[in-house]
Amino acid sequence: MKNSGLIIVLVSLSSLIPSCEKDSDPYSEIVTDNPLKSPIDSLVHNTFKDYAIQSATAGFSIAVIDGNQINYYNYGETQKGNKILPDENTLYELASITKPITAEALLFWLNQNSIDINTAIKTYLPQNLSANLGLNGVDITFKHLLNHTSGMPLFPDDMPPLSDLVTDYDSTKIYNYISSHPPLRTPGTLPTTKEEAAAFYSSFAYGLAGIILERQLKQSLQTIFQNFIFQPLQMTSTTLNKVDNITNRAYPHDNTGPITYTDLSGFAGGGNLRSNLSDLAKYVQAQINASNTNSLGQAILQSQESTIQINFKDFFALGWEFYYTSTNKELIFKNGISPGFTAAIAFDKDTKKAIITLFNNFRTNNIGIRYLTLIDEYFK
């Protein structure tokens, strides 16, 4: 059964450390719907209780999946001071968790049209860009876009900071940038260290992948995602569109308080999706159970295939990445970080287990350390 009932719990340390007085319990004011009845309930709570009581923490939502069972846990507030606990339908910004969906949509389209992933992208973009869609005689291919070997930067150096929304950096500006900037390195160059992989990582390339889809299909990227992925998986709330008119949404925060949503505009394919635990649980279960029996399943399986190894360990797939627990278990993984939001997904196809975490806080206060602690314990 899904643990989705709204049970507000003011956690008492007396149930954890009997010798303490309730009045001195620093955790007694934590607001959550975690029922604290099962070992998984306790694992989630004990991992994040110190984070939940920090003054800068707004809220967060967690889904723990084991096969068909989904447990939802919510903490804090959708906005500091509004006293509204998030739930499994609260929208959060996903940032780079957009990338696997962009990859799957592109792979879906490539397969539909019998286009090889190693095809050069220059044929599908304005001709005047061709000179800078390759370097040293090597053209950028669709695969290079999706596994961070295109030689393109993380973001163009003429783009405003993400904290300034970037609402007007559209496809025209992306084309202008490409026309005057060759790749930083020969396309297809493989990273040999984690540091190189981080330097090769390109949201610009994923933004361009989304633009190619829009250009070829003559539809918005939201419509393409809707037709290829969201509708088949019944993901009814996930969107690239602005969410100002949606009541049940989390508000982004940094350590000073609420800030504004990021709008990547032309970079939508690199990190502009908003979603909730309910939709993401469906998405992750589709990842775990994908098969080659349909077009979406084929694209999903392709997106999970390792294309780059570092130190003989899988590192980049196509949209997805890989993470190794402290016991060396390989998980398929993706995180997303934007001003005011932090998100992550990890799953193990063998055990059909997954964890999804959504925070309306920036990556301060060691969110990542706590998340990795949770997945190390859950997947061991």
What CATH number did the domain enclosing 153 receive? 3.40.710.10
Pairwise CA distance, residues 295 & 111, whole Å: 8
Domain assignment of residue 224, yes or no: yes
pLDDT score of 300: 98
Q: Contacts for 153-158 with beta carbons within 8 Å, 24 or more apart?
A: 153/184, 153/202, 153/204, 154/201, 154/202, 154/203, 154/204, 155/203, 155/204, 155/267, 156/181, 156/204
pLDDT score of 365: 63
pLDDT score of 166: 56
Domain assignment of residue 319, yes or no: yes
Residue 90 buriedness (CB in 10 A; 0-12 / 13-18 / 19+): buried
Domain assignment of residue 156, yes or no: yes
Pairwise CA distance, residues 337 & 162, whole Å: 11
**Alpha helix segments (H runs only) across the chain:** 39-52, 98-112, 142-146, 171-180, 194-200, 203-217, 221-225, 231-233, 268-271, 277-289, 295-303, 367-379
Domain assignment of residue 115, yes or no: yes
Locate 362 and state its tokens.
């920036």
Domain assignment of residue 6, yes or no: no
Q: How many CA atoms lie within 13 A of 80 on its CB side?
A: 18
Pairwise CA distance, residues 111 & 114, whole Å: 5
The whole-number mean pLDDT for each consecutive block of 10 residues of the chain, a chain of 380 residues, reads: 46 42 77 98 97 93 98 97 97 97 98 98 97 98 98 91 67 95 98 97 97 97 98 98 94 89 84 97 98 97 98 97 96 94 97 97 78 94
Tokens 């007007």 belong to residue:
168
pLDDT score of 264: 78
CA 350 to chain centre: 22
Pairwise CA distance, residues 210 & 205, whole Å: 9
Closest CA to 63 of 379, 279, 322: 279
Locate 365 and state its tokens.
């206060």
* Residues contacting residue 344 through CB under 8 Å, at least 6 positions apart: 97, 333, 334, 335, 336, 355, 356, 357, 371
Domain assignment of residue 23, yes or no: no
Domain assignment of residue 130, yes or no: yes
Domain assignment of residue 36, yes or no: no
Into how many domains does the chain fold? 1
Q: Which amino acid is at 248?
A: N
H or E element in which residue 258 lies: strand 257-258
* Residues contacting residue 223 through CB under 8 Å, at least 6 positions apart: none
Full residue range of the structural domain in which residue 126 is found = 93-364
pLDDT score of 21: 46
CB 297 within 8 A of CB 291: yes
* Residues contacting residue 328 through CB under 8 Å, at least 6 positions apart: none
pLDDT score of 12: 40
Residue 100 buriedness (CB in 10 A; 0-12 / 13-18 / 19+): buried
